[in-house]
Amino acid sequence: MKQVIIPPSYDEFSDVYIVSEIMDADLRDVLDSGEPVGIVQIKYLMWQLCNALAYLHDCDIMHRDIKPEVCTTSGKTNNHRIY
């Protein structure tokens, strides 16, 4: 996350915008790339996703649109990291 802007009034606060760095790819790009994804890589990606969701839930934040297109990654190499 790049910046947090405090709303002028919490009574009128209704929207949340998250600004982050532009990433090289998303999980859909990785899955559609045609490159083989090994079992170790799949386990690592799933571990990252589960950890991220657990952290959000611990903060009482629910995400209603989990899909590969919203999981940004560091690139299309064998060492993917989800952000």
Q: What is the pLDDT of residues 45-74, one digit of tens each?
A: 889 889 988 988 998 888 888 888 888 887
Active site residue 29: no
- Choice between 82 and 50, residue whose per-residue pLDDT is larger: 50
**Average pLDDT, rounded, for the chain:** 80
pLDDT > 70 fraction of the chain, expressed in percent and rounded: 84
Distance CA 72, CA 48 (A): 12
pLDDT of residue 54: 92
Q: Looking at 11, 15, 58, 65, which residue is catalytic?
A: 65
Residue 25, phi then psi, degrees to nearest 5: -160, 175
Higher pLDDT, 40 or 83: 40
